[in-house]
Structure 1
Amino acid sequence: MRASRLVTLLLLLQHRGRMTARQLAGELEVSVRTVYRDVEALGAAGIPLYGEAGHAGGYRLVEGYRTRLTGLTADEAQAAFLAALPGTAAELGLGEALATAQLKLRAALPAQLREHAARIQERFLLDAPGWYGDTDPVPHLAAVATAVWTHRAVVLRYRRWRAPEEIERRVEPYGLVLKAGRWYTVAGGPSGVRTYRVDQILELRPLDEEFAAPDGFRLAAYWDAHLAGFRARLHTSQALVRLTPEGARRLGVTPAADGGWTEARVPIESVDHAHREFLGLGTDVEVVAPAELRDRIAETARALADRYDGRREAQGRGSGPAVPGARGVAHPP
Structure 2
Amino acid sequence: MRASRLLSVLLLLQTRGRLTAREMAAELEVSVRTVYRDLDALAEAGVPVLAERGATGGYELLAGYRTRLTGLTSDEADSLLFAGLPDAAAELGFGAVVAAAELKLLAALPAEACERALRVRELFHLDAPGWFRAAEPVPLLAEVAGAVWGRRRIRITYLRWRAPRRVVRELEPLGVVLKSGTWYVVAAACPGDGRADIADAPPAETPETPETAEAFEASVRVYRVARILGLEAMPETFERPERFDLAAYWEQWTARYEAGVYRGTATVRLSPEGRRMVPFRLAPAVARAVEQTAGDPDADGWVRAELPIESVRHARGDLLVLGPELEVLDPPELRAAMADAVAGLTAFYGPPAC
Tell me the TM-score normalised to structure 2 length: 0.61
SS in 2 for 1:98: helix
Q: Alpha-carbon deviations, 1:258-311, whole Å to 9, x = none?
A: 662111111111111111121111111111001111111112222223333358
C-alpha deviation, 1:250, in angstroms: 2.7
Rounded to whole Å, the distance in 1 between the matches of 2:351 and 2:303 is 34
5+ long unaligned stretches in structure 2: 1-79, 199-218, 279-286
1:145 — aligned with what?
A: 145
Name the count of aligned residue pairs: 234
Mapped pair 1:228 → 2:255: yes
1:295 — aligned with what?
A: 336
1:282 — aligned with what?
A: 323
C-alpha deviation, 1:257, in angstroms: 5.4
What percentage of aligned pairs have identical amino acids?
47
1:159 — aligned with what?
A: 159
C-alpha deviation, 1:182, in angstroms: 1.6
Whether the 8 Å contact between 1:129 and 1:181 is mirrored in structure 2 is: yes
Mapped pair 1:202 → 2:229: yes
Rounded to whole Å, the distance in 2 between the matches of 1:81 and 1:92 is 12
Mapped pair 1:308 → 2:349: yes
2:89 — aligned with what?
A: 89
Q: How does 1:1-333 map to 2 (within 5 A)?
A: 84-189=84-189, 190=193, 191=198, 192-251=219-278, 252=287, 253-254=290-291, 256=296, 260-310=301-351, 312=353
Rounded to whole Å, the distance in 1 between the matches of 2:169 and 2:347 is 52
SS in 2 for 1:143: helix
The 1:82/1:171 distance shift into structure 2, 3 A limit, reads: closer
Structure 1 vs Structure 2 CA RMSD: 2.2
Whether the 8 Å contact between 1:140 and 1:204 is mirrored in structure 2 is: yes
Rounded to whole Å, the distance in 1 between the matches of 2:82 and 2:118 is 10
Rounded to whole Å, the distance in 1 between the matches of 2:161 and 2:147 is 25
Rounded to whole Å, the distance in 1 between the matches of 2:84 and 2:169 is 33
Tell me the TM-score normalised to structure 1 length: 0.65
Whether the 8 Å contact between 1:156 and 1:202 is mirrored in structure 2 is: yes
SS in 2 for 1:274: helix
Rounded to whole Å, the distance in 1 between the matches of 2:260 and 2:120 is 39
Amino acid at match of 2:305: A
Whether the 8 Å contact between 2:82 and 2:98 is mirrored in structure 1 is: no
Rounded to whole Å, the distance in 2 between the matches of 1:247 and 1:237 is 21
Whether the 8 Å contact between 2:171 and 2:187 is mirrored in structure 1 is: yes
Q: Alpha-carbon deviations, 1:180-219, whole Å to 9, x = none?
A: 2221111110431111111111111111111012241011
Amino acid at match of 2:169: R
Whether the 8 Å contact between 1:152 and 1:206 is mirrored in structure 2 is: yes
Whether the 8 Å contact between 1:82 and 1:121 is mirrored in structure 2 is: no
SS in 1 for 2:350: helix
Rounded to whole Å, the distance in 1 between the matches of 2:178 and 2:107 is 30
Moved more, 156-165 or 246-255: 246-255
2:38 — aligned with what?
A: none
Rounded to whole Å, the distance in 1 between the matches of 2:165 and 2:344 is 36
SS in 1 for 2:138: coil
The 1:130/1:288 distance shift into structure 2, 3 A limit, reads: same
C-alpha deviation, 1:134, in angstroms: 3.1
5+ long unaligned stretches in structure 1: 1-79, 314-333
Rounded to whole Å, the distance in 2 between the matches of 1:305 and 1:196 is 41
Amino acid at match of 2:336: D
Which structure is higher in RCO with an 8 Å CA cutoff and minimum separation 6?
2
C-alpha deviation, 1:87, in angstroms: 0.8
Rounded to whole Å, the distance in 2 between the matches of 1:306 and 1:243 is 25
Amino acid at match of 2:229: L
C-alpha deviation, 1:312, in angstroms: 4.3
C-alpha deviation, 1:135, in angstroms: 2.4
Whether the 8 Å contact between 2:154 and 2:170 is mirrored in structure 1 is: yes
Q: Alpha-carbon deviations, 1:107-155, whole Å to 9, x = none?
A: 2223333233222211222222233353232121111111111111111
